Structure 1
Amino acid sequence: MTDMTVNTAPYGTWESPIDAATAASRDGRPDFARIVGDELWWTAPRPAERGRRTLMRRRPDGTEESVLHPPWNVRSRVIEYGGLPWAGTDRGPGRGALVVFAHFADQRLFAYEPDVPGSQPRPLTPISSLGGGLRWADLRIHADRGEVWCVLEEFTGQRPTDLRRVVAAVPLDGSAAEDRTRVRELTDDSHRFVTAPRLSPDGTRAVWIAWDHPRMPWDGTQVLIADVTDDGFSGARTLIGGPDESIAQIEWARDNTLLAATDRTGWWNIHRVDPATGAAVNLCPRQEEFAGPLWRLGLSWFAPLDNGLIAALHGRGAQRLGILDPATGELTDVPGKWTEWDAMVTVTGTRVIGIAATATTGHEIVELDIRTGRPRAVAAHHSDAVDPDELPAPVERTFTGPDGREIHAHLYPPHNPAFTAPEGELPPYVLWVHGGPTSRAPLVLDLEITYFTSRGIGIAEVNYGGSTGYGRAYRNRLREQWGVVDVQDCVAVAEALVAEGVADPARLGIRGGSAGGWTTAAALVSCSTFACGAISFPVLDLTGWSAGGETHDFESQYLETLVGPMAKVPERYRDRSPVTHADRIRAPFLLLQGLDDVICPPAQCERFLAAIAGRGIPHAYLTFDGEGHGFRRQENIVRCLEAELSLYAQVFGFIPPSVPTLELTI
């Protein structure tokens, strides 16, 4: 970077080269990378195209191209968070690729032959007008059987919980496009949730994961195994697992034994499992996570290679890619700059494919050839949207919370090479609270963070108790303590930053979406630490959200563990809800809501706003047509970022350059 004059200006007023449109244009990441023949395929975000996801391919010469054009949107709604929405197979010379994908608008499966001139996607599944219809995810093509094996989610009524889920086989010939009866059900619906089956190398057996309410997949799951016959599956039985053991992934090894990521030791470790007896041996006993929470179907933290080795993600907090020798337990980390890997590991031959990022580079698709041991980015390459010198230098921290417990966090200090603050001024800081809550904030490049830090606002991302990546005991801290431990941990980090002389105690904010929105609102009504808050698509009324049927089936009984059994502690649902204590809120806030959100619907926000009406609290409520749980359209992300910055400006007392003023209602 060339020499420049360093200007002195108050925090928050720094002129930034990163506008909201730039940050919004980089929203999203490559996802669900797979190999089709010798080609790499994946889904990619298109914020400027109404937030759709397209299907990409990388030709052998390195050329990248979008396979599907608007309005096609490759995204599944199974369990609302979706899962692997496409599958592909190479049919050989002269025929090219066949891909099957779920189209978001109607959730039908479509088959597409992109190498056939004039080909257009053709439907494979019918439409149902009952409730949420028919939905499909975790797709696997079995060309020899002429079918796609996947999870079918079928609504049986109009309520969000009126549905069933089974393992299904969809014919590739299109015969089920108008005839539901042509879809073969390979399992019954005795379990509420299932993943798609993995077929053994010899083709004789299949395994899949199942669980039931009120457990979530990180609480307890079981692995089922069955014989494969011409008519479907037979003799299904539970092999391993139970109510207190979470198996996040199951795969066949090349020798027809099984590999499972189970947390029976308190950490998700990879075990070899005997398919006859269920006897399991830990292949690399470590107090590290080799898997994570199964929020979407089809996630993959490890993959067995043809030579018997296993490509595996592992670590505490951030996961890195390693190669595990199951015979010796030796785990060799792959070199390279990438510090955060997504649960998208796949292999073919000697190639390992993953999606990875760093604190200063975005997610890109990385290939490792185990013959050379050298990884390289091969697709969706990172490109600098701004000068790297503009990026903050994040710091990983471990804070001490109540009772001496550890709290993990990432600090992003204010940074702009062209500006410095007046001597003695402390910066404002905003605590970012991730969703889930059984999830984790990764330490990766996020231009939305840089949007604020480059203007002189510090960010602290808190992986509070209940977050994943630090073992079962850490995530179990939130059991029956949601709204308590998460709030306490955020307050502890904020107070520590003040005590260290890092942050201005009068200019602390908090923001979050979904479960993070809940924690933000719960903090605002329970303490005076924060001067304002930005709340996105939140939970605000526990009773309405759970017992009132205001959310989807997947999380409809999540609160049984997060808060406690409603039948036993109904008062806890009332007493912890921000809507109950709206009279306690004193801080200005911004509320952001998608009008198509079925996970945290607008009714939650509307009830909260009614409760604060006439209390003189400055606030703004922005809603967005066509947005669900999380915002995907570029113009809406821009509006949210600018509104949030304006809120901070008005509360913290500065005038940001070139940002529309958010009108606050009293």
Structure 2
Amino acid sequence: MTSHPIAPVPGKLFDDEREQRWRSRFTAVRMSRPSWALDAPAHNVYVSNATGTFEIHVWDRDADEHRQVTARRNGTTSAVLPPDGADVWWFADTDGDEFGHWVTQPWSAGPGADTTPAVPGAGDGYPAGLEIGRRRTAVGVSTDDGTTLLVHERGSADDARVVYTHTEDAGIGALSEDETLLAISHSEHGDSRHPSLRVLRVSDGDPEVVAELHDGPGKGLAALEFAPVAGDQRLLVSHERHGREELLIWDPATGEVTELALDLPGELVAGFTPDASALLVAHTHAARTRLYRYDLAPGTLTELPVAPGCVGSAEVRDDGTVEYSASSAATPSVIRALRPDGTDELLLAPPGERPPGSLPVRDVWTAGPGGDVHALVVEAPRTGDAPAPAVFVLHGGPHAADEDRFDAGRATWVEAGFTVVEINYRGSTGYGSAWRDAIEGRPGLTELADVAAVQDALVADGTVDAARCAVDGWSWGGYLSLLAAGTQPERWAAVVAGVPVADYLAAYADEMEQLRAFDRALFGGSPEELPERYREASPLTYVDAVRVPVLVLAGENDPRCPIRQIDNYLDALAARGDVAYEVSRFDAGHGSLVVSDQLDLIATEVDFVRRALG
């Protein structure tokens, strides 16, 4: 096995005051917005790093008591409560590899308590959805053989029964209030990026197909939620019939489909209010998300007066209170409650001191080869007339987006004196279906053309210095960074690639089946069918053109960007012998949930780029 130079972890990045400030943004207690049990709303579950690792915690609102539920070496982030709140369900994988099964333990139990499989007979796999009803549970399991969807009668010792199986990707969507109907997504047509919907009757015996909804090529559908009131079988659906994510209500029994025309420019996702008379709508536009209430009968839309910033998640309690999280690039996340009378107040404050804030972002729009490209820029203070060094941080996904939210990593780069540029290149969500799907058939190089356009514009207006630009990213962003090292070597003084796709052919062979299905949909086929298309998109193809220092950070147990294909790329760099590179390997999966690891990783990145830029 080839030996590769290990990236050092610096003991300190700054003087004492700044060192304490950047570290406290990671070590300060953070928590997700608590979600509650349907029939026991005082029982809540959330994720927190209070112990130094992101784990599952519960909150008893009546007693105002918080308890930790899990304590695992690589952390735990997926948990739900059944309607009665008597148990806590969480997903148990091994060392962050995402392969495992749902387990359950009593509400009152703590870390290390005995657990039992939550769905007997479901077996191990990658999660493909979960819906827990009062009487039955629906769960999805993905393996190399495809996806299996099962239904289990709660309390029964019998194994769950299979209601759907297919070699193509599928998932659990929603379970009706009376638990007789199950909405599933599927990609039997071969395009997992644009799934179709099917509603099955699962009340007893073999499943019966009740209705199908398919909008045709390039137009995906997502089952959001059945109406939560007795006797109401309407299903809220996300569609993209008009080139962006919008809403419709589908009655599978009658086939009636009602599109909801909301006069908002961005993309929409929503959920029913508890009485199903209205929707709580999250509207995302230009990297910000805000909340609205849409009353169904009159068809009226009202913006909710939530706190400033970008809303992270939100839900409506039975009394009409909207509980939500919000933050901005400058302000750390808060969890608040908007009461029916319009009072907006802090709901829950994590223990300890609040993390320090950072600088706000400014919006930059640039004419790119495929249309205007939106970027968020935080410009570091200058020490003279010259611009500060810049780091272009590319988001993962690819179907995701950078938003005006607080990010401790971004704040660290700014603390280190770097201007930070985040680009919502083609492939990003939030800018319409055509923008998201523009990378089909040519992923990687398409996004980098947008990155180049933004960089050129920022050089031209004096925001960044062309000679002092680094590119950095994780996951798909790490892939783009590594691809940039070989296809745009003249643009970058340093390259940082966290958990990247490095050798696309080997990555496809080793990655989880859900991602293989995604790749087939993205490229238009498999590597066997389109070998040249995959080679064109692979960083390994361009390894001989790399001219700048490269840092690769890799998870040993990563199922998304597996370690073998990263080793292939590192071996190719080593074989050249004339390019500087370093590697940082960590014992986790697609990133680490351990705060000390996160500190070491970001410190390693900043130190590497500082050394590369001199």
Match of 2:343 in 1: 374
Residue 92 of structure 2 aligns with an amino acid whose one-letter code is H
Residue 267 of structure 1 aligns with an amino acid whose one-letter code is R
Quick check: 1:47–1:634 contact (8 Å CA) kept in 2? no
Match of 2:83 among 71, 82, 89: 89
Closer, same or farther in 2 for the Cα pair 1:117/1:127, shift >3 Å?
A: closer
Match of 2:266 among 273, 288, 291: 288
Match of 2:141 in 1: 153
Q: Deviations over 1:609-652 (max 9, x none)?
A: 22122332111111112x10012222222221221122222122
Closer, same or farther in 2 for the Cα pair 1:514/1:139, shift >3 Å?
A: same
CA distance in 2, matches of 1:592, 1:31: 30
Match of 2:557 in 1: 596
CA distance in 1, matches of 2:167, 2:267: 27
Q: Deviations over 1:562-617 (max 9, x none)?
A: 33434554212223321111110101111100111121111122111221223321
Match of 2:226 among 235, 249, 252: 252
Quick check: 1:365–1:381 contact (8 Å CA) kept in 2? no
**CA deviation after TM superposition for structure 1 residue 483, in Å:** 1.6
Output the TM-score relative to the length of structure 1: 0.80
CA distance in 1, matches of 2:167, 2:314: 26
Match of 1:265 in 2: 242
Match of 1:302 in 2: 271
**CA deviation after TM superposition for structure 1 residue 126, in Å:** 8.0
Q: Deviations over 1:368-417 (max 9, x none)?
A: 33x313343313559764544xx1121122222125x11111111115xx
- Which stretch shows the higher mean deviation, 438-447 or 161-170? 161-170
SS at match of 2:559: coil
Match of 2:321 in 1: 351
Match of 2:205 in 1: 231
Match of 2:93 among 71, 83, 104: 104
Residue 366 of structure 2 aligns with an amino acid whose one-letter code is F
Structure 2 residue 101 is matched with structure 1 residue 141:
no
Match of 1:406 in 2: 372
Quick check: 1:13–1:456 contact (8 Å CA) kept in 2? no
CA distance in 2, matches of 1:312, 1:620: 45
Alignment of 1:254-653 (within 5 A): 254=229, 255-286=232-263, 287-291=265-269, 301-306=270-275, 308-316=277-285, 317-342=287-312, 345=315, 347-369=317-339, 371-381=340-350, 385-388=354-357, 391-402=358-369, 405-415=371-381, 421=383, 423-527=384-488, 528-546=490-508, 549-565=509-525, 566=527, 569-613=530-574, 614-625=576-587, 627-653=588-614
Closer, same or farther in 2 for the Cα pair 1:385/1:352, shift >3 Å?
A: closer
Closer, same or farther in 2 for the Cα pair 1:447/1:384, shift >3 Å?
A: farther
Closer, same or farther in 2 for the Cα pair 1:563/1:239, shift >3 Å?
A: closer
**CA deviation after TM superposition for structure 1 residue 74, in Å:** 7.8
CA distance in 2, matches of 1:64, 1:602: 42
- Identity value in percent: 22
**CA deviation after TM superposition for structure 1 residue 559, in Å:** 2.7
Match of 1:166 among 139, 149, 158: 149
Superposed CA RMSD:
3.2
Match of 1:8 in 2: none
Quick check: 1:33–1:354 contact (8 Å CA) kept in 2? no
SS at match of 2:163: coil
SS at match of 2:434: helix
**CA deviation after TM superposition for structure 1 residue 324, in Å:** 0.6
CA distance in 2, matches of 1:397, 1:453: 18
Output the TM-score relative to the length of structure 2: 0.87
Q: Deviations over 1:485-533 (max 9, x none)?
A: 2111111111211111111221001000111111111111112111111
Q: Deviations over 1:169-197 (max 9, x none)?
A: 16346x3xxxxxx2222512147444335
Quick check: 1:305–1:311 contact (8 Å CA) kept in 2? no
CA distance in 2, matches of 1:493, 1:383: 40
Quick check: 2:168–2:517 contact (8 Å CA) kept in 1? no
Match of 2:172 among 179, 182, 196: 196
Name stretches of at least 5 consecutive residues in structure 2 with no aligned partner.
1-12
CA distance in 1, matches of 2:109, 2:451: 55
Match of 1:94 in 2: none
Structure 2 residue 46 is matched with structure 1 residue 43:
yes
Residue 280 of structure 2 aligns with an amino acid whose one-letter code is A
SS at match of 1:270: strand
Quick check: 2:69–2:111 contact (8 Å CA) kept in 1? no
**CA deviation after TM superposition for structure 1 residue 88, in Å:** 2.9
Quick check: 2:306–2:338 contact (8 Å CA) kept in 1? no
Closer, same or farther in 2 for the Cα pair 1:73/1:600, shift >3 Å?
A: closer
CA distance in 2, matches of 1:501, 1:250: 45
**CA deviation after TM superposition for structure 1 residue 541, in Å:** 1.6
Quick check: 2:498–2:553 contact (8 Å CA) kept in 1? yes
SS at match of 2:172: coil
Closer, same or farther in 2 for the Cα pair 1:368/1:485, shift >3 Å?
A: same
CA distance in 2, matches of 1:621, 1:280: 53
